C-alpha cells in the first residue's frame, strides 16, 4: 500500500496503537489473524428497517354498571389526580329516570347534591311528582375540580364516559342539569324535536332527554325558575310516563 492514502492509514493506525499503549494495553489477541495494513472494505449502506407504528391498545370500558362504577372510582379514571373526593352516582342503576349533573357541589363529600342546590332539586322533583329515590343521579365529572370548573381538555373524555354510563343505565328519560352536562346533546347521534325533547341513541337503545338550568344557577338567578318550570313540565308531561 502506498501513496497518500497509505500514509494516512499508517498515521491512523499509529495513533490508535499509541492510544491503546497509553491506556495500558500491551498485547492484542484475536481468534483470527488480521492484516492491520489492509484497506478496509467499503461500508454498504442499507435502508433502516421500517418500524411498524403500533398504537397502544385502548382498554374497553366495563360493560356492566357495577364494573363501570368501580372503574370510574379507580386510579384509571380521568379525575384520579384532581386531589378532590370522587363521588359515585346515587339511586337505582336500572331507573327509568336519570339525572346528569355537571360535577359534585362544593358541599358534597359523600353524596351528590347534598347542600342547598340538592334541596332545591328535591323540590323541583317533588313539583312533578318525583323523588330522588326513584332516579339515577350521576355526575359528568365524578370529582369537583379545584377551580370549580371542568377543564376544557377533560370535557370530551368525560362526555364519552357519560354516554357510556347512559347506555348502561338505559333510562327512558334523561334530565340534564347545567351547561357542561347539556353538552352531551351536542355529541350524540340522536335528534332534537321542535319542542325541546332530544333523542339520544346509545348501546342500550334510545332515551328522551331534556336540558335545563342547574339548581345552583337558579339560586343565583331566581327569575330563571319560570323557564326551568317549563323544562320540568316538558320532562314530566312531554315524555310519556
The grid cell for 198 is: 332530544
- pLDDT score of 6: 61
Residue range 191-222, pLDDT digits in tens: 444 468 888 887 767 889 999 999 999 999 99
Mean pLDDT score, 116-131: 94
What is the per-residue pLDDT for 2? Answer: 55
Q: Output the nine-digit C-alpha cell for 106.
A: 362544593
Q: b/e per residue, 67-95, with b = 16+ CB within 10 A?
A: ebbeebbeeebbbeebebebbebbbeeeb
Is 60 exceeded by the pLDDT of residue 127? yes
Q: Mean pLDDT for the chain?
A: 80
User: Given this model, what pLDDT does residue 218 score?
Assistant: 95
Above 60 in pLDDT, residue 110? yes
Q: How much of the chain, in percent, has pLDDT values that exceed 70?
A: 70
Closest CA relative to residue 61, chosen from 163, 175, 209, 207 = 163
Question: How confident is the model at residue 50, as a pLDDT?
Answer: 41
State yes or no: pLDDT of 64 exceeds 80.
Answer: yes
Amino acid at each position: 500500500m502506498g501513496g497518500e492514502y497509505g500514509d494516512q492509514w499508517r498515521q491512523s493506525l499509529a495513533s490508535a496503537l499509541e492510544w491503546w499503549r497509553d491506556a495500558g494495553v500491551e498485547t492484542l489477541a484475536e481468534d483470527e489473524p488480521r492484516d492491520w495494513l489492509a484497506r478496509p472494505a467499503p461500508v454498504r449502506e442499507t435502508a433502516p428497517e421500517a418500524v411498524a407504528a403500533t398504537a397502544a391498545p385502548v382498554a374497553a370500558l366495563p360493560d356492566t354498571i357495577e364494573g363501570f362504577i368501580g372503574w370510574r372510582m379507580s386510579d384509571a379514571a380521568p379525575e384520579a389526580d384532581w386531589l378532590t373526593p370522587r363521588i359515585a352516582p346515587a339511586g337505582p342503576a336500572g331507573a327509568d329516570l336519570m339525572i346528569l349533573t355537571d360535577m359534585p357541589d362544593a358541599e358534597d363529600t359523600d353524596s351528590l347534591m347534598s347542600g342547598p342546590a340538592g334541596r332545591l332539586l328535591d323540590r323541583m322533583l317533588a313539583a312533578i311528582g318525583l323523588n330522588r329515590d326513584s332516579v339515577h343521579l350521576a355526575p359528568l365529572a365524578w370529582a369537583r375540580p379545584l377551580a370549580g370548573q371542568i377543564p376544557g381538555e377533560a370535557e370530551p373524555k368525560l362526555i364519552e364516559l357519560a354516554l357510556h354510563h347512559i347506555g348502561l343505565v338505559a333510562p327512558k328519560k334523561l334530565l340534564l342539569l347545567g351547561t357542561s352536562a347539556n353538552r352531551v346533546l351536542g355529541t350524540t347521534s340522536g335528534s332534537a324535536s321542535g319542542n325541546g325533547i332530544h333523542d339520544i341513541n346509545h348501546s342500550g337503545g334510545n332515551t328522551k332527554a331534556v336540558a335545563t338550568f342547574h339548581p345552583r344557577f337558579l339560586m343565583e338567578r331566581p327569575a330563571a325558575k319560570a323557564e326551568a318550570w317549563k323544562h320540568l313540565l316538558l320532562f314530566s308531561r312531554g315524555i310519556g310516563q
